[in-house]
Amino acid sequence: MAFVGVAALLSAATLRGLGTLEQLLTQSRDGAARALQLSTAAERLGEQVTAMERAARQYLVLADPALERNFVAHAAEAQREVGLLSPVLPTALKTQWQDSLAALREQVREGADDTTLVDGFRALAALQQRMSEAARRHTEARNAALQQELEAGRLALGQQLLGTVALALTLALGFAWWLARPLQRVEQAIRGLGEDGLETPVHIRGPSDVQRIARRLDWLRQRLAETEADKARFLRHVSHDLKTPLAALKEGVSLLEDGTAGPLTDNQREIVRILHDHGALLQQRIEDLLRWNASAFAAQHVVRRPVELGALIQGLVDAQQLVWRAKSLRIVVQGVPLTAEVDGDLLGSALGNLLSNAIRFSPPGARVLIDVQRIGSGLRIEVTDAGPGVPADEQARVFEPFFRGRVQPVDGLPGTGIGLSIVAETVRAHGGQVSVLAPESTTAGATPGSRFRIDIPHALSD
């Protein structure tokens, strides 16, 4: 209906303009026809005056009644042409014409001398010239008036068209704004679904089409929420079901190690050690699954509060000092002191994962850099290690749950692919983004390792 309304407005303006143009063209056509009629009548009047004079003078010489009848006939034709010119002639001029023509008729009838007759026709010709001049002036005045009317009509038509276009543009912008608002809310609802905002119902006011889309989006939200709940429930159940036999397995291995079932040979002890290591690895996998599920749930309930980032990061470094001191690593924290409005527990968990990965992948004696920066009102944290780095073809997938790259630390167990996905979930919950970059180049060339960057907008007060 909005587009039909704008089209109807433009159509009405177009039809009105066509009507005005047709009216002006009709007036111009009528004026041209009237001017041609007056011009033709004035020209024929001059011809009839000449023919009258010729017939009258011939009649005076030859006294032929046929010549007199010719004179009378030309006089009648002249009178008819004067009748055509009559609307544009002054009354006094028409009276003088009638008097002069009557006098000439009387002179021809009485046989006046040639000099008197010539004087009479000269006076009649002068009147005819005045009539032609009057007709010409009337035509020029009418043309000037028509020209003014055409110009006024053109200006009025232009103003109407400009006004209509301006009104149509205003209506179009108004309708666009009116339609764009619910579409923007649809976009926000879709973004919310993509960011795991499954608890907020989708309700959008607007045209019926948009409301129908909103209902389908809300239906999709409910389905996604059910799927998410089923996934979390499945992980809890599977983890619980696995932990029970795993506990029995670990207890049996411990009994074998203690020699409860009898002394073990060296080969048997090696087998028991392998069982113990893989049991510990399996327990770690189960705990990682539970931790990832818990972090995904926690990311949906961010509680922001002022957090001093220096103290938060230093606490993470101190918590892992046994690991990085064992590898003789240098942990460098640089940047200005900042207090951010974030969820300290979630952000600390994410930064702890990045720091743990940097320690695992860095070679002994290397440096791990944690850089904290202020970008406008936003927060940027970078963690740079000296490890083998992330291959370019894996950088797009490195934050996917359970994805493990082909490059793994040589002196440790392979990861589960959970840590970086927890980092991504946490940063998205804060409205930010995390990315992996190449380390900064130095004068000696590009340094090895990985550089993970966290950007959280609007996390800092002015």
Q: Does residue 263 sit in the same domain as residue 379? A: no
Q: What is the pLDDT of residues 142-181, one digit of tens each?
A: 888 888 887 887 788 788 888 888 888 888 888 778 777 7
Q: Does residue 103 sit in the same domain as residue 250? A: no
Q: Number of structural domains, the chain?
A: 3
- Chain mean pLDDT for the chain: 81
Q: Compute the C-alpha angle 93/94/100, nearest 5°.
A: 90
Measured CA to CA in angstroms, residue 77 lies from 73, 132, 172, 190 at distances of 6, 16, 66, 91
Percent of the chain with pLDDT over 70: 87
Q: How confident is the model at residue 252 (pLDDT cuts 50, 70, 90)?
A: confident
Q: Does residue 223 sit in the same domain as residue 158? A: no
Measured CA to CA in angstroms, residue 97 lies from 40, 73, 109, 121 at distances of 19, 17, 18, 11
Q: How confident is the model at residue 329 (pLDDT cuts 50, 70, 90)?
A: very high
Q: What is the mean pLDDT of residues 172-191?
A: 78
Q: Does residue 37 sit in the same domain as residue 150? A: yes
Residue 283 domain flag:
yes
Q: Does residue 20 sit in the same domain as residue 127? A: yes
Position 380 scores a pLDDT of 92
Q: Does residue 7 sit in the same domain as residue 153? A: yes
Question: Where a domain ends, among 116, 145, 170?
Answer: 170
The structure tokens listed for 24 are: 């002006």
Q: Does residue 20 sit in the same domain as residue 159? A: yes
Q: Does residue 261 sit in the same domain as residue 313? A: no
Distance CA 181, CA 100 (A): 86
Q: Compute the C-alpha angle 11/17/19, nearest 5°.
A: 105
Instruction: Mean pLDDT check: name the lowest of 108-122, 291-305, 313-327.
Output: 291-305
**Residue whose token pair is 């002068």:** 126
Q: What is the mean pLDDT of residues 58-62?
A: 81
The structure tokens listed for 439 are: 């380390």
CATH of the domain at 443: 3.30.565.10
Residue 258 domain flag:
yes
Q: What is the mean pLDDT of residues 363-368?
A: 91
Q: How confident is the model at residue 445 (pLDDT cuts 50, 70, 90)?
A: very low
Q: What is the mean pLDDT of residues 374-384?
A: 91
Q: Compute the C-alpha angle 127/129/133, nearest 5°.
A: 115
Question: Where a domain ends, among 170, 197, 227?
Answer: 170
Residue 316 domain flag:
yes
CATH of the domain at 212: 1.10.287
Q: What is the mean pLDDT of residues 129-143?
A: 86
The structure tokens listed for 46 are: 């001059």
**Is 398's pLDDT higher than 70?**
yes
Residue 199 domain flag:
no
Instruction: Mean pLDDT check: name the lowest of 5-9, 235-239, 375-379, 384-388.
Output: 235-239
Residue 182 domain flag:
no
**Residue whose token pair is 């309930």:** 301
Q: Does residue 11 sit in the same domain as residue 138? A: yes
Q: How confident is the model at residue 454 (pLDDT cuts 50, 70, 90)?
A: very high
Question: Where a domain ends, among 170, 192, 226?
Answer: 170
Q: Does residue 276 sit in the same domain as residue 320? A: no
Residue 196 domain flag:
no
Measured CA to CA in angstroms, residue 183 lies from 5, 195, 212, 342 at distances of 21, 18, 12, 31
Position 369 scores a pLDDT of 92
Question: What is the CA 85 to chain-centroid distance, rounded?
Answer: 66
Position 222 scores a pLDDT of 83
Position 455 scores a pLDDT of 93
Comparing 41 with 410, which gets the higher pLDDT?
Answer: 41
**Is 292's pLDDT higher than 70?**
no
Q: Which of 197-206, 386-395, 426-435 has the highest mean pLDDT?
A: 426-435
Comparing 331 with 139, which gets the higher pLDDT?
Answer: 331
Residue 264 domain flag:
yes
Distance CA 164, CA 20 (A): 15
Residue 180 domain flag:
no
Residue 105: which residues within 8 A CB-CB, separation 6 or more? 72, 75
Closest residue by Cα to residue 273 from 252, 249, 253: 253
Position 415 scores a pLDDT of 60
Q: How confident is the model at residue 412 (pLDDT cuts 50, 70, 90)?
A: low
Q: Which of 103-117, 296-310, 328-342, 413-427 has the highest mean pLDDT?
A: 328-342
Instruction: Mean pLDDT check: name the lowest of 134-143, 249-258, 289-298.
Output: 289-298
Q: Does residue 39 sit in the same domain as residue 166? A: yes
**Is 17's pLDDT higher than 80?**
no
Q: Does residue 246 sit in the same domain as residue 114? A: no
The structure tokens listed for 252 are: 């049996």
For 258, the domain range is 208-296
Q: What is the mean pLDDT of residues 355-374?
A: 90
Position 3 scores a pLDDT of 76
Q: What is the pLDDT of residues 84-133, one digit of tens each?
A: 888 888 888 888 888 888 888 888 887 777 788 888 888 888 888 888 88
**Is 298's pLDDT higher than 60?**
no
Position 140 scores a pLDDT of 85
Position 332 scores a pLDDT of 93
